[in-house]
Structure 1
Amino acid sequence: MRTTKNRAKTCIAGARKLHYFAFMGRLSFRSKFAFSIAALLLLAGVWALASAWVQKEVLTRLGNSAEVVARQQTKLLDSELARYRLLAIVLAEYSDLEEALTKESPEVASRLNDRLASLVSKTGASIIYIINEYGRVVSSSNAHTAESFIGRNYGFRPYFTDALSAGSAEYYAVGDLSGRPGLFFSRQIGDTARAQGVAVIKFEFQALVKGWTKDLGETFIVDPSGVVLASTDPDEELRTFRVLSATERAHLTESGQFSNRPLEPSLLSFETNGMMAGPSDTLLLPVEERISETTLRLVHAVRANPALDGARELAFLISIAATIILAAIAMAIYWQLTRTMRMAADRAELEVAVTARTAELHAQIIERETADRRFREAREELAQANRLAILGSVTAGLIHQINQPVAAIRTLAENARHHLLKDRIDRVSANLLTAVELTARIGTITQEMLRFARRGKGENTRVDINETIAGALLLLGERFHSADVHLELPGSDLPDVVANRVQLEQVLVNLLQNALDAVADRSDPRVLISADMDASWVSLIVADNGPGIDPRLAENIFNPFVTTKAEGLGLGLSIARDIVAELNGVLDVMASPLGGAAFVVRMRKA
């Protein structure tokens, strides 16, 4: 009887197993298909969000940089225009002018011509000339040249008529003899009731604009009609940013303001999204500044294609990393569901094992919740920081660090599947625990990437220097390893300092990257991170055995655009010193114990 019952139980258990495996076969195909669709949708969603966020951050940074350049250029232009306005006022008070206008004496005219020519050479003006009340030029700084204005009548020019009626005027036009465009400053000579003439100074933008060609991007000076008066790109001068109506063109032709120039449309066009489109699919980000006391505006545009390409690459990397993590979690959940079904089918035989496994899973859940809580607390303590440029340079190393655990997770998952089919629960558990640890490692790397890419809030708190050094090496460790650079680190008992963790880490990464570049051609490359301290300060030193700093650049090494690299912009050390200054610290150069270059960051103790 007992034997029959045992056989019945065995048959029932066998039937349950056959039913379970048949059900799992049907479930496997549907689940794999659904999982594939979900993964594609998830990847597309993460890609869209990451791309939008990263592109917004990149364009914001690019726009801020362009605004700084535009403000600097506008201030310089305002200063130049103010100087010529003052010169026109002073010139109108010259005693020689009244004599030259009232007495047609060749001697007086010659003396005034020489004086005006001297003013042109000293002030940098294009030309200075005097017009009598009838519009005829009686004296000019170019009197002794082939383009002499003497005797020419400019009574039709608005700068002459407006100065006679209002006392002063400013007018942009193309010279009828020189053919060069310029801004004319005019000032009435004599009393308002009885004007004797007008003093005119012509200022040409080209000399000033030529100096801006060294700045990144293109600069345009534009009038209210959209005509480009001057540009760092000569092909854009006297073109229009908008289509002129027939009435506007007729008015410009009648006034002779731009002579016989065709005023063709610009090669650039403004898009509805605020960008500028150029030839060969070029995209530019424009910013605009008003020029003081004029109706003109300065437009500075920088190329956005390289920044947008970098943003797309970073967004793709973030999407892949996030998808891998979510996929790993989904696989764990999926495995848990199938395991629950198998346990339900074999509950009578595996009740003890189920109890033990349930306790183990409960402990894992508690451990994961604890780890998640610590992760969230650590993330909330970190300020957002803008590190896209640095992440771009270390992307290859980070991908290598992610690919290794991903390959290992795949192998462990395949092995766990085979062990599961053979009921080797202990081996399945071991493989999954290892996969969880590798997933945590991937999570650590991607979290460091995300934290380092976000903008910081600039709040100073107590910062652990040891953790800061560890964070920097997480980003640059692969580069040190691949370049075979010997790195010496300080002890782990460094005191805390008052700083911002993300900003201090950015400075350290910047200095370490410079050190790596410096020792790239050395046969025995070495980089040293050391620390020194006194009662109030902690000094963090980054030294290398590279070629050192050129003595000619030593005094200006922290100035913008000063660099020893062939392709460097010279902004890294300048930005690093500004960040350290904001943290109430000091960044300076010192003698390197390794014979190359060395930089010291001094921060107050917490």
Structure 2
Amino acid sequence: MSGRRLWLTFVLVAVLASVAAFAVAADLGRSRAVATVRAAAANASTLAIAVLRGELEKQRALPLILVRDPDVRSVLAGADPQGLDIKLEDIARETRTAVIYLLDRSGVTIAASNWREPTSFVGSGYAFRDYFTQAMAQGGAEQFALGTVSNRPGLYITRRVDGADGPVGVVVVKVEFDRVEADWRALGGETYVTDARGVVLLSTVVDWRFHVEAPLAPDAAQEIRRTLQFGAAPLEPLPFTAEGDMVAVTGAAAGRYLATRTPVPTTQWQLELLLPVEHAVRSARGQFQAIAALLLMPGLALAALLLRRRQRAFARHRREARIKAELETRVQERTAALAGANARLTQEITERARAQERLSDAREELAKANRLATLGQVTAGVAHEINQPLAAIRTYAENARALLKRRDGEAAAGALDKVVALTERIGAITETLRGFARRGNGALEPVPLAEAIAGALMILDVPLRQAGIAPLVEAVPPDLRVMGRRVELEQVLVNLMRNAIEALGTLPQPAQEPPLALGIGVAGESVTLTVADRGPGMTGEEVAALFIPFRSSKSKGLGLGLVICHDIVARFGGTLTAACRPGEGCVFTIVLKRAV
């Protein structure tokens, strides 16, 4: 491959890795932002309900006190109501109650706190209101309705006044929630309260009041019209559209929100809190993508440096080979006078030595290139593998800082312990990849088979998950060791499993379970390791050519991966064989010497 094509391939791989990393970072950022907004919504809902309940409980106490007031009873008995009007006016002003008024047994107002105002309730009849009829029948009632005189919505809380001969009147306290809605606006987002029928009673958005969450049944809407509970309100659905865990709002307060619903205690109401998420999602995505960029840039720079060094080394090797060839040519020209047989013999010996040397160098370079190619394929997954513990490290570090501020040393220490464990996880990932990249050499030594299998699976973790393959790995005794070199044994396993992944990827439909399996067998001084897949398999002719150099069944294959694997296993003193059947898959069997 020319230098230009090699760099174009590198740029393409870098772009694909960056796109994948940014996509994953964007998804993680959105999840983090939604979780943060959801926690904030839960806290804000608790505060909103506390504000509403505080107002309700304060106003509910007024009717209970007034039904025992002697002035109320004397007015119901026929006394002049002016003194009671003034008294109710003072109480309403001190308690910040909208209106307090007294109805006789026929439902006519005989005293009211708004007796001075043009819209005074005195003399008005409210026998048609449910809050009057229910109070006369049951002793008390609560009804949210639109005032027929003031045209202002509010909650009507009533208590019946009983006399010696039965009910004599009803005390009514009307509560308006302007201050509650103002307090809700300070929490951020939008808040509204619905009754059991889904009608919006209170809202920080005035245009949403008396709308419904879902269309009402005709008989329910007709009953509301009959009682004039909400006047001529249209009772139209709210301008909401559900989008998964989000709500899209049009019209007033348009935007995308996270919705949190909480029941209001002691009522049949539901409080809905909408918090905007678009800004939080954009901010979190930007942060995670910045982290992804910071992680990718050093890795890509290192890969580019290694690629550049490799090109220089290859150019130097070719230049030295050319100089060497020229020197040998001059030597041959000067010795041309020698006898023909002797010259031919010398030339043949020289050519064979050179060929053997090039063959040895080529094999070593091919083994190294095969290992680096495998490492390059898994580099794209490194950012994903490290991003997860990095995100957890940041969360635990922030928790530790908050705990230290609260002087909770023990909890902070626990969070920091988790940070240490996560950093060890990142170290394990990078150490495995670095060890795989090193050139395997040295004498044979006992290799723990379980560790070699675990290392190969870690290297192929991302390709396996991307292909949706969960390999079935037979349990390996922890003390089982074989003679070899760990890095090269991992290289053999990675090549065989990667070939299986590529073969399974060519199937038009999912393979039978398990699609990929690793088996272990021990017999005397030998250990057998099998890699079996449920791929398309191969014919007998294709199997016979598997270990022949530059013969490959893949359209872009070089035909060297299995040759290198066969040579590595042979250097270990073992064997590598293959058995395949078309349509049923392949089984590669490695037999190694067991280490004592």
| TM-score (structure 1 length as normaliser) | 0.52
Provide the residue aligned with 2:259 in structure 1. Answer: 286
Aligned-pair CA distance for 1:281: 6.3
Deviation per residue, 1:25-66 (Å, 9 max, x gap): 3x863x555545543433333222211211111121122122
Q: Is 181-190 or 208-217 further displaced after alignment?
A: 208-217
Task: Tell me the secondary structure at the aligned position of residue 116 of structure 1.
Answer: helix
Provide the residue aligned with 1:194 in structure 2. Answer: 166
Within 2, Cα distance between the matches of 1:193 and 1:333?
102
Provide the residue aligned with 1:225 in structure 2. Answer: 197
Conserved? CA contact 1:98–1:190, under 8 Å: no
Cα gap change, 1:53 to 1:218, in 2 (>3 Å)? same
Provide the residue aligned with 1:61 in structure 2. Answer: 36
Deviation per residue, 1:550-571 (Å, 9 max, x gap): xxxxxxxxxxxxxxxxxxxxxx
Conserved? CA contact 1:278–1:284, under 8 Å: no
Cα gap change, 1:270 to 1:126, in 2 (>3 Å)? farther
| 1:79 aligns with one of 54, 58, 61 | 54
- Residue identity matched to 1:67: A
Conserved? CA contact 2:225–2:231, under 8 Å: yes
Matches within 5 A, 1:91-490: 91-103=66-78, 105-106=79-80, 109-190=81-162, 194-279=166-251, 282-328=255-301, 330-331=303-304, 453-456=394-397, 458=399
Provide the residue aligned with 1:558 in structure 2. Answer: none
Within 2, Cα distance between the matches of 1:143 and 1:225?
34
- Residue identity matched to 1:82: E
Within 2, Cα distance between the matches of 1:193 and 1:271?
60
Aligned-pair CA distance for 1:163: 1.4
Within 2, Cα distance between the matches of 1:275 and 1:66?
14
Within 2, Cα distance between the matches of 1:203 and 1:92?
17
Provide the residue aligned with 1:89 in structure 2. Answer: 64
Cα gap change, 1:270 to 1:498, in 2 (>3 Å)? closer
Within 2, Cα distance between the matches of 1:293 and 1:32?
71
Task: Tell me the secondary structure at the aligned position of residue 229 of structure 1.
Answer: strand
Within 1, Cα distance between the matches of 2:397 and 2:219?
53
Conserved? CA contact 2:98–2:175, under 8 Å: yes
Within 2, Cα distance between the matches of 1:185 and 1:176?
16
Cα gap change, 1:232 to 1:503, in 2 (>3 Å)? farther
Task: Tell me the secondary structure at the aligned position of residue 275 of structure 1.
Answer: strand
Aligned-pair CA distance for 1:129: 0.9
Cα gap change, 1:145 to 1:36, in 2 (>3 Å)? same
Deviation per residue, 1:195-225 (Å, 9 max, x gap): 2221110000112212333332222222233
Deviation per residue, 1:91-122 (Å, 9 max, x gap): 1111222222232x33xx11211111111011
Conserved? CA contact 1:167–1:192, under 8 Å: no
Task: Tell me the secondary structure at the aligned position of residue 299 of structure 1.
Answer: strand
Task: Tell me the secondary structure at the aligned position of residue 144 of structure 2.
Answer: strand
- Residue identity matched to 2:28: W
Provide the residue aligned with 1:41 in structure 2. Answer: 16
Task: Tell me the secondary structure at the aligned position of residue 209 of structure 1.
Answer: helix
Within 2, Cα distance between the matches of 1:136 and 1:169?
17
Cα gap change, 1:325 to 1:181, in 2 (>3 Å)? same
Conserved? CA contact 1:39–1:327, under 8 Å: yes
Aligned-pair CA distance for 1:85: 1.2
Cα gap change, 1:281 to 1:257, in 2 (>3 Å)? closer
Provide the residue aligned with 1:413 in structure 2. Answer: none
- Residue identity matched to 2:206: P
Aligned-pair CA distance for 1:449: 7.8
Cα gap change, 1:193 to 1:70, in 2 (>3 Å)? farther
Deviation per residue, 1:230-279 (Å, 9 max, x gap): 22233333333333344332221112110112234434444333334345
- Residue identity matched to 1:86: A
Within 2, Cα distance between the matches of 1:181 and 1:175?
6
Within 2, Cα distance between the matches of 1:276 and 1:247?
30
Conserved? CA contact 2:153–2:176, under 8 Å: yes
Task: Tell me the secondary structure at the aligned position of residue 246 of structure 2.
Answer: coil
Cα gap change, 1:101 to 1:282, in 2 (>3 Å)? same
Provide the residue aligned with 1:538 in structure 2. Answer: none
Provide the residue aligned with 2:557 in structure 1. Answer: none
Deviation per residue, 1:272-300 (Å, 9 max, x gap): 33334345962122222222211112222
- Residue identity matched to 1:271: E
Within 1, Cα distance between the matches of 2:391 and 2:156?
55
Provide the residue aligned with 1:382 in structure 2. Answer: none
Conserved? CA contact 1:271–1:277, under 8 Å: no
Provide the residue aligned with 1:432 in structure 2. Answer: none
Cα gap change, 1:305 to 1:459, in 2 (>3 Å)? closer
Cα gap change, 1:269 to 1:125, in 2 (>3 Å)? farther
Cα gap change, 1:446 to 1:190, in 2 (>3 Å)? closer
Question: Cα RMSD between the aligned structures?
Answer: 4.6
- Residue identity matched to 1:94: D
Task: Tell me the secondary structure at the aligned position of residue 315 of structure 1.
Answer: helix
Structure 2 unaligned blocks of 5 or more: 322-353, 373-382, 405-411, 420-596
Within 2, Cα distance between the matches of 1:217 and 1:178?
29
Seq. identity, %: 24
Cα gap change, 1:191 to 1:323, in 2 (>3 Å)? farther
Within 1, Cα distance between the matches of 2:58 and 2:96?
11
Q: Would you say how many aligned residue pairs link Structure 1 and Structure 2?
A: 366
